Amino acid sequence: MTVESLISLKLFFALTAAHFCGDVLAYSSFLARTKRSNSAFAKFLGIGIHVTVHGCFVYLWLWFFQVENRALAVSFVVTTHFLIDWSRILVETKWFDAENVRILTRREVFRWLTHRRGNSREIPFFTENHLRKWILVNAGDQALHLLAIIMLTCALARA
C-alpha cells in the first residue's frame, strides 16, 4: 500500500467517524423535530445546529489525525451537509403528509425492527405504510453524505 493510499484511508476514516459522531452520537429528537418544523426559520436553525455539530466533529477528527486544511474541510462539510439535509427535508415533506403521520426517529424504527416495540401505536402504522419510503430517503441521504466524504477525501489527499 502506498503512502498516498494510507493518507486517503486515514482521511476517509476520520471523515466517516466524524459523520457517525454527528449523525448518531450527537443527534437528538429535538433536532429531528426542529428540522421538520413548519417554520422555515426553525428548519434553518435545526439544520444549522446539526451541521455545526458535524463541523466540530470534522475539525476534531482531522486535528486528531494531524490533517491540515481543517478549516476548508469544515466549510465543505457544513455546506454540503446543509444542502443534503435541506433537500432531505423537502423530499420528506413531499412524500410524508405531516398531518397524518409523524416522522419517526431512527431509534423508534430500529426499536420496531428489533422487536423492542414499546406501546406506540404510531410505529406499526408507520412501518406498514411508510417504511419503504423512509428507507429510500435514508439510503439516498447517506449515499449523498458518503459521496461528499469521498470527494473531500480525494481533495484533501491531493492538497
Q: Would you write out the chain's pLDDT as a tens digit for each of its 159 residues?
A: 787 788 789 999 999 999 999 988 888 878 888 888 889 999 999 999 999 999 999 999 999 988 888 999 999 999 999 999 999 988 888 887 766 556 666 677 677 778 776 666 666 666 677 778 888 988 999 999 999 999 999 998 887
Contacts of 17 (CB under 8 A, 6+ apart): 57, 61
Q: Are 38 and 23 in contact (CB under 8 A)?
A: no
User: The whole model's pTM is what?
Assistant: 0.83
Cell numbers representing residue 39 in the block: 417554520
Cell numbers representing residue 154 in the block: 480525494
Whole-angstrom Cα distance, residue 97 to residue 13? 37
Whole-angstrom Cα distance, residue 124 to residue 121? 6
Grid-cell match 477528527, residue found: 61
Q: Are 47 and 90 in contact (CB under 8 A)?
A: no
Burial, 24: exposed, middle or buried (Cβ in 10 Å; 0-12, 13-18, 19+)? exposed
Supply the pLDDT for residue 17.
Answer: 95
Q: Are 16 and 31 in contact (CB under 8 A)?
A: no
